Amino acid sequence: MSARPKDRMTVEEYLVWSEAQEGRYELVNGVVYAQAAERAAHAEMKGLVFVALRNAIRKAGLECRAMVDGMGVRVGAETVYEPDALVYCGPKLPPDALLVERPVIVVEVLSPGSGRNDLGRKLAGYFALSSVRHYLIVDPDERVVVHHERREDGVIVTHILRDGAATLDPPGLTLPLSELYEP
């Protein structure tokens, strides 16, 4: 059973609290929210995204790492999101790290209750981080990936993909949709 958190927390307080909890949580504007149970389609898609990202990193020979959910991304002093997958580049994180401070790619897999947050609050939050260049929203039920990309000039453009591949440059990855969806 989870201990009830105090009414509002900073990121630092949340990280200490969350280490002693079972389940998944996010901190949004200082308030802790439990994450809903996942459907099988969501869990499977999350795994496919992670494997596809890891394969793309290996193929490109980059010093980057893909991670599946469990790692937090700090989006301000009172907000920590836990994306379904992410990529960061550079040295490997310490074994006791709870946050990825400079993700380059973040991925959310849609679920019945998350769409509004994924398409609104999280979109704005992730792109508030200067390191984030790509935000992918993956639909596990329909063959569609929404790819939000921050260009060099800072403009964010959106690609709606049903076939082909997402070009994630930087860091220089190609993510084929065929690795996420059956033909």
Alpha-carbon distance of 20 to 75, in angstroms, equals: 22
CATH fold of 39-179 reads tt1808, chain A (3.90.1570)
Domain ranges of the chain: 39-179
Give the single-character DSSP code of 7: S
Is the pLDDT assigned to residue 116 strictly greater than 70?
A: no
Residue matched to tokens 């993909």: 161
Q: What is the pLDDT of residues 150-172, one digit of tens each?
A: 999 999 999 999 999 999 999 99
Q: How many CA atoms lie within 13 A of 55 on its CB side?
A: 13
In whole angstroms, give the CA distance from residue 100 to residue 106: 11
Residue 101: pLDDT over 90: yes
Confidence (pLDDT) at 2: 47
Q: How many Cβ atoms are within 10 Å of 94's Cβ, its own excluded?
A: 7
* Cβ neighbours, 10 Å, residue 2: 13
Whole-number pLDDT of residue 36: 83
Does the pTM surpass 0.85? The reply is yes
Give the pLDDT confidence of 40-55 residue by residue, as tens digits: 999 999 999 999 999 9
The amino acid at residue 142 is E
Look up residue 92 and give its two tokens. 């490997």
pLDDT score recorded for residue 183: 72
